[in-house]
A and B are shown apart, each in its own frame.
Chain A
Amino acid sequence: MTFQIAHAGHWITSGPFFLPVVAFPIWLGVTESRERRREDR
């Protein structure tokens, strides 16, 4: 089987669509750690 996953050209046009999905966990991680620090204080 030859999956064309390796060819970035097939996927690259889709990447920007999912940037919010990638950015969200980062934002959530930062927010959660801030909340925890605030609660610890």
Chain B
Amino acid sequence: MFLIAHGISVRSDLPIPEWLFGWAAAMVLVVSFVALAVLWPEPRLQKPTWRPLPGGLGRVLASRPVEIVCGAIGIFLFGLTVYAGLRGTESTTANFAPIFIYVIFWLGLVPLSVLFGDVFRAFNPWRAIGRAVAWVARRAARTELPAPLEYPAWLGRWPAALGIFAFATLELVVSDGDRPDTLAVAALAYSAVTFIGMALYGVERWIDRGEAFSVYFNLFSRLSAVETREGEVGLRRPLSGLPRLDALPGTVALIAVMIGSVSFDGFTGKRPWNSISPDIAQFCQDLGLSPQHALEATFMLGLIGAVLFVAGFYWLGVLGATSVGGGFGARRLAREFAHSLVPIALAYVAAHYFTLLLFQGQAIVYLISDPLGKGADIFGTADTQIDYTLIGANSTWYWQVAFVVAGHVAALMLAHDRALALYADNRKAVRSQYWMLGVMVGFTSLALWLLSSANA
């Protein structure tokens, strides 16, 4: 579908081989690690810092009328996406639904969350509908509604992890997962699950922990300098939202799904996968599956394998960190440092998909004029073409390397800061981070290999 998705196009005249960029990136991490050990002796990100936007702007931005307008926009876009999916053309690139879901929503909201905070919360159609229904029900009943069930502590972020895994399955495994009608039906099915979750556990609780996309974009928004607190938008130190992430069950799994699914998407373009996958598919066919289902089963195994690989690699670093002492078990450390993986997830998404967002994102200009792909021209932009000359292959590579390095340096900072807060002895804190540095170097090498033309 999206052929230029990963920016693995013809690169020429790179001054050094691609793998040398990987070595340089690893060196940057080692130097950053040493610099942190020397220049960052006290935790700086653990204490919340926040001040409201000046001139009452923060209150206006978070006010009820703005919230209602944003919610209405979210509901409209959701309705348009489902309608276009069900009634529009079957062409993936000419229908509003696939481009909006996979590019504008899934990818576009990531940089917006990092820049402007948790914007999806404001535009979330399910939250808006849930709150509107609760308001109407309260009015109709003329009394307070029964209290929702207590959200089970063990459930944590597991529903969100499963939701993101299901979305990745639709995107990367299901053979017609980019068909407009498939996407519309999936959106409706997900809505049903979300409304049940909100009815059982309350709108805000389910949005905070169970609703996959809210949790997903909220994680990225914690990198942002913008935060809404008690009905007011304000500013905080960048990255400082992540140390306050509750170490709930399922958090590591969720982030492993985030990194693993992007990794798998890159891996499917590599020769090792293309060498092995036909044999696995044949094996599945020999078990009695149809060719299409055998291929889907193969990709599902690959996706699960990638997620387990990422989770396992992180756990390896955590187990190593337990060896320095301090009295912390592996499970505790895994939760304490989980937030440091979020910038890595961002680096993977940004490096892997930014050309897709840059190029296919332009399609929304013609799709708003013809969302169904049936020849309409509502805003006079239906003939707009995608400009593929916006960025060259070499520039793409430089940006990708920059995203990967910046994300991993940010991860090192967060892990270092948490270690200083956790360990009584600074030497132990730094020693525990040798292992996290190993994890970061591993993820950096993997990211650059996936993005490189080696074995492509």
Contacts and interface: CB of A to CB of B under 8 A. Distances in A.
Interface residues of B, number: 31
A17 B22 contact: yes
A14 B279 contact: no
A24 to B, nearest CB: 5
Interface string A15-41: 011111100110010011001000000
Given A1-B279, A1-B282, A1-B283, A17 B441 contact: no
Contact of A16 (B19, B275, B280, B435): B19
B442 interface: yes
B449 interface: yes
Given A20-B22, A28-B434, A35-B431, A14 B441 contact: no
B132 interface: no
Contacts of B444: 20
B276 A3 contact: yes
Contacts of B26: 20, 24
A25 B441 CA distance: 11
Contacts, number: 63
B415 to A, nearest CB: 15
A4 B275 contact: yes
B182 interface: no
A18 B448 CA distance: 10
Given A10-B275, A11-B272, A17 B449 contact: yes
B276 A17 contact: no
A36 B441 CA distance: 24
A32 B320 CA distance: 11
Nearest to B437: A24
Nearest to A22: B445
Contacts of B438: 21, 24-25, 28
30 contacts: A1-B282, A2-B279, A3-B275, A3-B276, A4-B276, A10-B455, A11-B272, A11-B455, A14-B449, A14-B455, A16-B19, A16-B20, A16-B22, A16-B23, A17-B18, A17-B19, A17-B449, A18-B445, A18-B449, A19-B19, A19-B23, A20-B441, A20-B444, A20-B445, A21-B445, A24-B437, A25-B438, A28-B434, A28-B438, A32-B434
